[in-house]
Structure 1
Amino acid sequence: MEETLHWQPAATHTELLAGPVAEAVRALADDDVHVAAIDPGLADTAAFCEKYGVALDESANCVIVAGKRGGEVRYAACMVLATMRADVNGVIRKRLDVRKSSFAPMAEAVELTGMEYGGITPLGLPADWPILVDSNVASHNRVVIGSGVRRSKLAVSGALLAGLKGAEVLDLATGA
Protein backbone atom coordinates (compact mmCIF):
# COMPACT_ATOMS: atom_id res chain seq x y z
CA MET A 1 0.00 0.00 0.00
CA GLU A 2 1.32 3.44 -0.98
CA GLU A 3 1.84 6.04 1.68
CA THR A 4 1.26 9.74 1.09
CA LEU A 5 4.11 12.21 1.22
CA HIS A 6 3.35 15.43 3.08
CA TRP A 7 5.50 18.06 1.36
CA GLN A 8 6.33 21.18 3.40
CA PRO A 9 8.61 24.17 2.73
CA ALA A 10 12.11 22.97 3.61
CA ALA A 11 13.21 26.39 4.92
CA THR A 12 10.65 26.14 7.73
CA HIS A 13 11.29 22.46 8.48
CA THR A 14 15.07 22.31 8.74
CA GLU A 15 14.76 19.78 11.57
CA LEU A 16 14.19 17.24 8.78
CA LEU A 17 17.53 18.06 7.11
CA ALA A 18 21.21 17.37 7.76
CA GLY A 19 23.04 20.43 9.13
CA PRO A 20 24.88 21.36 5.91
CA VAL A 21 21.67 20.90 3.90
CA ALA A 22 19.67 23.12 6.27
CA GLU A 23 22.30 25.86 5.88
CA ALA A 24 22.20 25.56 2.10
CA VAL A 25 18.38 25.66 2.02
CA ARG A 26 18.33 28.80 4.19
CA ALA A 27 20.91 30.44 1.90
CA LEU A 28 18.87 29.59 -1.20
CA ALA A 29 15.74 31.31 0.12
CA ASP A 30 13.80 29.40 -2.53
CA ASP A 31 10.15 28.62 -1.79
CA ASP A 32 10.24 25.73 -4.25
CA VAL A 33 12.40 23.48 -2.05
CA HIS A 34 10.10 21.10 -0.20
CA VAL A 35 10.76 18.34 2.33
CA ALA A 36 8.73 15.32 3.38
CA ALA A 37 9.39 12.95 6.26
CA ILE A 38 9.74 9.28 5.28
CA ASP A 39 10.44 5.97 6.95
CA PRO A 40 14.29 5.90 7.18
CA GLY A 41 14.22 2.19 6.41
CA LEU A 42 12.80 3.09 2.99
CA ALA A 43 15.38 5.73 2.03
CA ASP A 44 16.94 3.61 -0.70
CA THR A 45 15.51 4.70 -4.04
CA ALA A 46 13.68 1.57 -5.18
CA ALA A 47 12.04 0.94 -1.79
CA PHE A 48 11.15 4.63 -1.41
CA CYS A 49 9.59 4.89 -4.87
CA GLU A 50 7.55 1.73 -4.42
CA LYS A 51 6.22 2.67 -0.96
CA TYR A 52 5.48 6.33 -1.71
CA GLY A 53 4.32 6.02 -5.33
CA VAL A 54 7.09 8.13 -6.85
CA ALA A 55 8.15 7.09 -10.35
CA LEU A 56 11.81 6.13 -10.69
CA ASP A 57 12.24 8.75 -13.42
CA GLU A 58 11.05 11.42 -10.94
CA SER A 59 13.73 10.44 -8.45
CA ALA A 60 17.37 11.48 -8.78
CA ASN A 61 20.36 10.01 -7.02
CA CYS A 62 23.44 11.90 -5.88
CA VAL A 63 26.58 9.80 -6.13
CA ILE A 64 29.97 10.98 -4.92
CA VAL A 65 32.77 10.12 -7.32
CA ALA A 66 36.47 10.32 -6.50
CA GLY A 67 39.58 10.19 -8.65
CA LYS A 68 43.28 10.92 -8.16
CA ARG A 69 45.61 13.11 -10.15
CA GLY A 70 49.16 13.78 -9.00
CA GLY A 71 48.42 12.47 -5.50
CA GLU A 72 45.43 14.80 -5.11
CA VAL A 73 41.96 13.28 -4.66
CA ARG A 74 39.29 15.09 -6.66
CA TYR A 75 35.61 14.70 -5.80
CA ALA A 76 32.40 15.45 -7.63
CA ALA A 77 28.73 15.04 -6.81
CA CYS A 78 26.84 13.55 -9.74
CA MET A 79 23.06 13.79 -10.13
CA VAL A 80 21.38 11.17 -12.32
CA LEU A 81 17.82 9.92 -12.58
CA ALA A 82 17.16 6.68 -10.73
CA THR A 83 16.48 5.00 -14.08
CA MET A 84 20.04 5.71 -15.28
CA ARG A 85 23.64 5.14 -14.27
CA ALA A 86 26.40 7.70 -13.96
CA ASP A 87 29.11 7.28 -16.60
CA VAL A 88 31.86 7.21 -13.97
CA ASN A 89 34.68 6.02 -16.23
CA GLY A 90 33.75 8.15 -19.23
CA VAL A 91 32.28 11.63 -18.92
CA ILE A 92 32.86 12.01 -15.17
CA ARG A 93 36.46 10.76 -15.26
CA LYS A 94 37.25 13.17 -18.08
CA ARG A 95 35.58 16.09 -16.30
CA LEU A 96 37.60 15.40 -13.13
CA ASP A 97 40.74 15.08 -15.30
CA VAL A 98 41.84 11.88 -13.57
CA ARG A 99 43.12 8.55 -14.89
CA LYS A 100 40.58 6.47 -13.00
CA SER A 101 37.44 7.38 -11.10
CA SER A 102 35.10 5.39 -8.91
CA PHE A 103 32.37 5.84 -6.35
CA ALA A 104 33.85 7.29 -3.17
CA PRO A 105 33.91 4.79 -0.29
CA MET A 106 30.82 5.11 1.92
CA ALA A 107 32.67 6.14 5.09
CA GLU A 108 34.65 8.77 3.17
CA ALA A 109 31.53 10.20 1.48
CA VAL A 110 29.70 10.41 4.81
CA GLU A 111 32.63 12.06 6.60
CA LEU A 112 33.35 14.61 3.88
CA THR A 113 29.72 15.62 3.30
CA GLY A 114 28.41 15.59 6.88
CA MET A 115 25.42 13.63 5.56
CA GLU A 116 24.06 10.13 6.04
CA TYR A 117 24.73 7.45 3.44
CA GLY A 118 21.57 7.02 1.40
CA GLY A 119 20.64 10.67 1.94
CA ILE A 120 23.56 12.52 0.33
CA THR A 121 22.37 15.46 -1.73
CA PRO A 122 24.04 18.25 -3.74
CA LEU A 123 22.73 20.93 -1.36
CA GLY A 124 25.32 21.67 1.31
CA LEU A 125 28.31 19.89 -0.21
CA PRO A 126 31.86 21.23 0.11
CA ALA A 127 32.05 24.44 -1.92
CA ASP A 128 35.00 23.32 -4.04
CA TRP A 129 33.29 20.19 -5.36
CA PRO A 130 31.75 20.35 -8.81
CA ILE A 131 28.10 19.30 -8.96
CA LEU A 132 27.60 17.46 -12.22
CA VAL A 133 23.92 17.41 -13.13
CA ASP A 134 22.80 15.08 -15.90
CA SER A 135 20.80 16.92 -18.55
CA ASN A 136 17.83 14.59 -17.89
CA VAL A 137 17.74 15.79 -14.28
CA ALA A 138 18.21 19.45 -15.21
CA SER A 139 15.21 19.36 -17.55
CA HIS A 140 12.78 17.99 -14.92
CA ASN A 141 10.13 20.24 -13.40
CA ARG A 142 10.49 18.37 -10.10
CA VAL A 143 12.74 15.60 -8.86
CA VAL A 144 12.89 13.90 -5.50
CA ILE A 145 16.38 13.82 -4.00
CA GLY A 146 18.06 13.13 -0.67
CA SER A 147 17.94 15.58 2.22
CA GLY A 148 21.22 14.68 3.88
CA VAL A 149 19.46 12.24 6.21
CA ARG A 150 17.56 9.00 5.61
CA ARG A 151 14.37 10.15 7.36
CA SER A 152 13.26 12.65 4.69
CA LYS A 153 13.42 13.58 1.01
CA LEU A 154 13.56 16.89 -0.84
CA ALA A 155 11.57 17.88 -3.93
CA VAL A 156 13.26 20.48 -6.15
CA SER A 157 13.28 21.54 -9.78
CA GLY A 158 16.00 20.41 -12.11
CA ALA A 159 16.61 24.09 -12.86
CA LEU A 160 17.40 24.72 -9.18
CA LEU A 161 19.98 21.91 -9.21
CA ALA A 162 21.48 23.18 -12.48
CA GLY A 163 21.73 26.66 -10.96
CA LEU A 164 23.59 25.67 -7.79
CA LYS A 165 27.02 27.21 -7.31
CA GLY A 166 29.54 24.90 -8.93
CA ALA A 167 26.89 23.04 -10.95
CA GLU A 168 27.47 21.96 -14.53
CA VAL A 169 24.89 20.32 -16.77
CA LEU A 170 26.36 17.43 -18.77
CA ASP A 171 25.18 14.26 -20.49
CA LEU A 172 26.66 11.98 -17.84
CA ALA A 173 24.18 9.12 -17.64
CA THR A 174 23.79 5.86 -19.43
CA GLY A 175 20.70 3.62 -19.42
CA ALA A 176 20.31 1.48 -16.32
Structure 2
Amino acid sequence: MKQRPQFVTPLRAIIAFPISLAAGAMTFLPAIMAEGVPQVPSVFVGHGIVSNLLRFSATELGIALLGLAIFGLPIFPFYVCGVFVAKRLQTSHWLYFAALGILLATGLWIAAVLPQSRGVNHYSPYLGLIRFALPVGMVAGLVCWAFLYLTCSRNRAPDSSCEPGL
Protein backbone atom coordinates (compact mmCIF):
# COMPACT_ATOMS: atom_id res chain seq x y z
CA MET A 1 0.00 0.00 0.00
CA LYS A 2 1.32 3.40 -0.99
CA GLN A 3 1.54 5.98 1.78
CA ARG A 4 -0.11 9.28 1.03
CA PRO A 5 2.13 12.33 1.29
CA GLN A 6 1.23 14.84 3.97
CA PHE A 7 0.14 18.24 2.76
CA VAL A 8 1.27 19.90 6.00
CA THR A 9 4.64 18.92 7.41
CA PRO A 10 6.29 20.73 10.32
CA LEU A 11 9.37 21.83 8.36
CA ARG A 12 7.42 23.14 5.37
CA ALA A 13 4.91 24.87 7.68
CA ILE A 14 7.72 26.64 9.55
CA ILE A 15 9.27 27.75 6.26
CA ALA A 16 5.87 28.93 4.99
CA PHE A 17 5.32 31.13 8.06
CA PRO A 18 7.78 33.97 7.31
CA ILE A 19 6.96 33.84 3.61
CA SER A 20 3.23 34.21 4.21
CA LEU A 21 3.72 36.81 6.95
CA ALA A 22 5.91 38.91 4.66
CA ALA A 23 3.41 38.59 1.79
CA GLY A 24 0.60 39.65 4.09
CA ALA A 25 2.58 42.64 5.34
CA MET A 26 3.39 43.63 1.77
CA THR A 27 -0.35 43.77 1.05
CA PHE A 28 -0.77 46.64 3.50
CA LEU A 29 0.75 49.41 1.31
CA PRO A 30 -1.34 48.57 -1.79
CA ALA A 31 -4.42 48.40 0.44
CA ILE A 32 -3.66 51.89 1.74
CA MET A 33 -3.04 53.17 -1.79
CA ALA A 34 -6.27 51.59 -3.07
CA GLU A 35 -8.15 53.21 -0.20
CA GLY A 36 -7.04 56.63 -1.41
CA VAL A 37 -5.04 57.80 1.60
CA PRO A 38 -3.47 61.01 0.22
CA GLN A 39 -0.16 60.90 2.12
CA VAL A 40 1.17 57.61 0.72
CA PRO A 41 0.83 58.23 -3.06
CA SER A 42 2.37 61.71 -2.72
CA VAL A 43 5.65 60.02 -1.78
CA PHE A 44 5.84 58.57 -5.28
CA VAL A 45 4.91 61.73 -7.23
CA GLY A 46 7.45 63.48 -9.45
CA HIS A 47 10.30 60.98 -9.40
CA GLY A 48 9.85 59.10 -12.69
CA ILE A 49 8.58 55.58 -13.20
CA VAL A 50 11.89 53.75 -12.61
CA SER A 51 12.61 55.68 -9.45
CA ASN A 52 9.05 55.09 -8.28
CA LEU A 53 9.39 51.35 -8.88
CA LEU A 54 12.63 51.30 -6.91
CA ARG A 55 11.10 53.34 -4.09
CA PHE A 56 7.99 51.15 -4.06
CA SER A 57 10.12 47.97 -3.98
CA ALA A 58 12.28 49.33 -1.18
CA THR A 59 9.19 50.38 0.76
CA GLU A 60 7.61 46.95 0.29
CA LEU A 61 10.80 45.22 1.43
CA GLY A 62 10.91 47.45 4.51
CA ILE A 63 7.27 46.71 5.29
CA ALA A 64 7.87 42.96 4.91
CA LEU A 65 10.88 43.03 7.26
CA LEU A 66 9.06 45.24 9.75
CA GLY A 67 6.05 42.93 9.66
CA LEU A 68 8.30 39.94 10.36
CA ALA A 69 10.10 41.72 13.18
CA ILE A 70 7.03 43.10 14.93
CA PHE A 71 4.29 40.55 14.28
CA GLY A 72 6.24 37.32 13.82
CA LEU A 73 6.54 36.33 17.46
CA PRO A 74 2.99 37.24 18.63
CA ILE A 75 1.34 35.44 15.70
CA PHE A 76 3.53 32.32 15.65
CA PRO A 77 1.82 30.35 18.48
CA PHE A 78 -1.60 30.86 16.91
CA TYR A 79 -0.21 29.90 13.49
CA VAL A 80 1.19 26.70 14.98
CA CYS A 81 -2.24 25.86 16.43
CA GLY A 82 -3.92 26.47 13.07
CA VAL A 83 -1.37 24.38 11.21
CA PHE A 84 -1.69 21.62 13.81
CA VAL A 85 -5.45 21.55 13.21
CA ALA A 86 -4.87 21.43 9.43
CA LYS A 87 -2.48 18.51 9.88
CA ARG A 88 -4.89 16.63 12.17
CA LEU A 89 -7.79 17.17 9.77
CA GLN A 90 -5.50 16.39 6.81
CA THR A 91 -6.92 19.34 4.94
CA SER A 92 -5.37 20.79 1.84
CA HIS A 93 -8.19 23.15 0.99
CA TRP A 94 -7.18 26.70 0.12
CA LEU A 95 -10.25 28.06 1.90
CA TYR A 96 -9.03 26.74 5.28
CA PHE A 97 -5.70 28.54 4.93
CA ALA A 98 -7.34 31.78 3.72
CA ALA A 99 -9.71 31.64 6.70
CA LEU A 100 -6.78 30.95 9.04
CA GLY A 101 -4.94 33.99 7.68
CA ILE A 102 -8.02 36.18 8.05
CA LEU A 103 -8.56 34.90 11.59
CA LEU A 104 -4.96 35.66 12.59
CA ALA A 105 -4.96 39.12 10.99
CA THR A 106 -8.33 39.95 12.52
CA GLY A 107 -7.25 38.80 15.96
CA LEU A 108 -4.05 40.81 15.72
CA TRP A 109 -5.95 43.91 14.57
CA ILE A 110 -8.48 43.65 17.39
CA ALA A 111 -5.75 43.02 19.99
CA ALA A 112 -3.86 46.11 18.84
CA VAL A 113 -6.74 48.54 18.26
CA LEU A 114 -9.59 47.63 20.60
CA PRO A 115 -7.89 48.47 23.94
CA GLN A 116 -6.96 51.93 22.62
CA SER A 117 -10.48 52.82 21.45
CA ARG A 118 -12.52 52.16 24.60
CA GLY A 119 -13.23 55.77 25.52
CA VAL A 120 -13.45 57.14 21.99
CA ASN A 121 -16.96 57.17 20.56
CA HIS A 122 -16.28 58.83 17.21
CA TYR A 123 -13.71 56.29 15.98
CA SER A 124 -14.66 52.80 14.85
CA PRO A 125 -11.73 50.37 14.57
CA TYR A 126 -13.89 48.00 12.54
CA LEU A 127 -13.62 50.07 9.35
CA GLY A 128 -9.87 49.53 9.39
CA LEU A 129 -10.46 45.88 10.13
CA ILE A 130 -12.53 45.42 7.00
CA ARG A 131 -10.31 47.55 4.78
CA PHE A 132 -6.87 46.39 5.86
CA ALA A 133 -6.84 43.29 8.08
CA LEU A 134 -9.03 41.13 5.86
CA PRO A 135 -7.00 41.54 2.64
CA VAL A 136 -3.73 41.14 4.56
CA GLY A 137 -4.94 37.94 6.21
CA MET A 138 -6.38 36.51 3.02
CA VAL A 139 -3.17 37.09 1.07
CA ALA A 140 -1.07 35.62 3.88
CA GLY A 141 -3.26 32.52 4.09
CA LEU A 142 -3.31 31.96 0.35
CA VAL A 143 0.45 32.38 0.11
CA CYS A 144 0.88 29.82 2.90
CA TRP A 145 -1.41 27.39 1.05
CA ALA A 146 0.39 28.02 -2.26
CA PHE A 147 3.78 27.37 -0.68
CA LEU A 148 2.58 24.14 0.91
CA TYR A 149 0.95 23.04 -2.34
CA LEU A 150 3.92 23.86 -4.54
CA THR A 151 6.42 22.16 -2.23
CA CYS A 152 4.32 19.04 -1.72
CA SER A 153 5.89 15.80 -2.92
CA ARG A 154 5.74 15.47 -6.71
CA ASN A 155 5.36 11.66 -6.53
CA ARG A 156 1.68 11.94 -5.83
CA ALA A 157 -0.89 9.23 -6.05
CA PRO A 158 -4.12 10.22 -7.86
CA ASP A 159 -5.98 10.34 -4.53
CA SER A 160 -3.18 12.19 -2.81
CA SER A 161 -3.77 14.62 0.02
CA CYS A 162 -1.66 17.19 -1.84
CA GLU A 163 -4.47 17.76 -4.30
CA PRO A 164 -6.25 21.00 -3.48
CA GLY A 165 -9.83 21.02 -2.40
CA LEU A 166 -12.12 22.75 -4.85
What TM-score comes out, normalization by structure 1 length?
A: 0.27
Q: Which has the higher helix share?
A: 2
Which structure has the bigger radius of gyration?
A: 2
